[in-house]
């Protein structure tokens, strides 16, 4: 039962005073108004945006969601390289892509992109080192490679989070936590077509927020979620893993500071070691690395996984094996038994977070409900 309120606060009355039974009826799920808005929304914002990278689109049930997608994985598994391939494919289709890089210099991301394009038309690989050696010697790349790259990357915008002009604005009314959101807002307004945002990486940006690691990640995600809803943005966000999970079969609990990631993301992909390598050191020695990519969360599809080859020299990925099966058991180790202490801590953290949703309604919320209830009864 709602709390009885004899004298509602003025600000509540001003917010709710304009509401009427007719207005509330228009908010009903089955109303003509609501159904019309849903039709209008999906006529513009399709549920999935195909990237053109076949195995990536299949993992995401057809393409990128209108929302936040997370890509997580062990070090050196090619997270950034994969997203460069996705970014170039989208750009070649005429879709603007904003690649926000915190972990790498824009020049490093650009070299990966050139290496990928150069290797597409060559039997031999054209590695990042090959390109830098040419430039260091005063040479240039083949005209065909450069022209192909210009065509594919014409809609790709790589920006440096660390040195972006927004970082140097000194305004006491602007909190440092809002810079990422302001970048999303600024570039969303810049393009006629909604851009796809790639953010590398979540934990690196969260470090700047002067919070604990978990608080920083949650704050960054909340910031992204706000602007994703405001501009119907599609975002792919790189997330790191805790070291204790490097040698385990991935699930959502393996994500570093994963409290809010599970709840805010529409799709979560995890990259883990596959093939003959049994540990990270062996894995790093391989120039062609086998990686299993799992769909750990998908709001419109079941569990999926693929095994891909990451060709380090060619900066490219290709599919080896596709599979749809049941999800792996939580945090199962490939070498040792599951670390129960660590898993209990993750469970406790998630339980503590869920407690936030179980708090009783505040007095102001109860007053608002009472006014709505009285308005409906009186027909005002």
Encode pLDDT of 4-61 as tens digits. 444 555 555 555 555 555 555 666 777 777 777 777 766 665 678 999 999 999 999 8
Which of 221, 199, 177, 215 is closest to 71 using CA atoms?
A: 199
84 belongs to a structural domain: yes
260 belongs to a structural domain: yes
Q: What is the pLDDT of residue 354?
A: 42
28 belongs to a structural domain: no
Assign residue 329 the CATH number of its domain. 3.40.50.300
Q: What is the pLDDT of residue 350?
A: 47
7 belongs to a structural domain: no
Is 277 a residue whose pLDDT tops 90? no
State how far the Cα of 73 lies from the Cα of 274, in Å rounded to an integer.
12
34 belongs to a structural domain: no
* pTM attached to this predicted model: 0.76
368 belongs to a structural domain: no
Lowest-confidence pick of 104-113, 185-194, 259-268: 259-268
- Answer yes or no: are the C-beta atoms of 111 and 131 closer than 8 Å: yes
Q: Give the total number of structural domains in the chain.
A: 1
Domain that holds residue 239: 46-356
Is 200 a residue whose pLDDT tops 80? yes
364 belongs to a structural domain: no
107 belongs to a structural domain: yes
Using CA atoms, how far residue 47 sits from 40, 43, 233, 311, in Å, is 13, 10, 12, 31
pLDDT in tens, 71-92: 999 899 999 999 999 999 999 9
């Amino acid at each position: 039962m709602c709390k009885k309120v004899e004298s509602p606060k003025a600000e509540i009355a001003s917010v709710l005073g304009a509401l009427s039974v007719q207005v509330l009826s228009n908010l009903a799920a089955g109303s003509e108004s609501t159904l019309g808005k849903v039709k209008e929304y999906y006529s513009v914002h399709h549920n999935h945006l195909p990237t053109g990278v076949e195995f990536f689109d299949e993992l995401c049930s057809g393409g990128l969601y209108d929302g936040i997608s997370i890509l997580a994985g062990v070090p050196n598994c090619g997270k950034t390289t994969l997203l460069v391939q996705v970014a170039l494919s989208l750009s070649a289709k005429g879709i603007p892509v904003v690649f926000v890089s915190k972990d790498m210099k824009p020049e490093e991301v650009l070299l990966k992109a050139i290496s990928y394009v150069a290797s597409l038309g060559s039997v031999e690989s054209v590695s990042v080192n090959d390109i830098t050696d040419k430039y260091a010697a005063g040479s240039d790349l083949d005209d065909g490679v450069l022209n192909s790259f210009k065509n594919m990357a014409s809609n790709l915008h790589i920006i440096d989070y660390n040195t972006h002009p927004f970082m140097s604005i000194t305004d006491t009314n602007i909190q440092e936590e809002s810079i990422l959101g302001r970048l999303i807002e600024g570039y969303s307004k810049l393009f006629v077509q909604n851009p796809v945002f790639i953010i590398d990486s979540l934990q690196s940006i969260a470090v700047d927020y002067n919070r604990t690691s978990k608080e920083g990640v949650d704050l960054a995600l909340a910031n992204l979620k706000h602007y994703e809803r405001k501009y119907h943005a599609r975002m792919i966000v790189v997330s790191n893993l805790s070291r204790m999970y490097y040698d385990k079969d991935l699930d959502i609990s393996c994500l570093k500071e994963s409290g809010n990631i599970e709840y805010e993301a529409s799709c979560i992909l995890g990259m883990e070691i596959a093939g003959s390598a049994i540990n990270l050191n062996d894995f790093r020695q391989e120039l062609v690395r086998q990686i299993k990519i799992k769909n750990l969360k998908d709001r419109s599809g079941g569990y999926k996984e693929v095994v891909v080859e990451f060709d380090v020299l060619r900066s490219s990925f290709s599919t080896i094996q596709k599979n749809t099966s049941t999800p792996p058991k939580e945090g199962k180790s490939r070498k040792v038994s599951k670390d129960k202490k660590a898993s209990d801590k993750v469970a406790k953290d998630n339980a503590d977070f869920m407690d936030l949703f179980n708090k009783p309604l505040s007095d102001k919320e109860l007053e608002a409900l009472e006014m709505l209830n009285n308005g409906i009864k009186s027909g005002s």
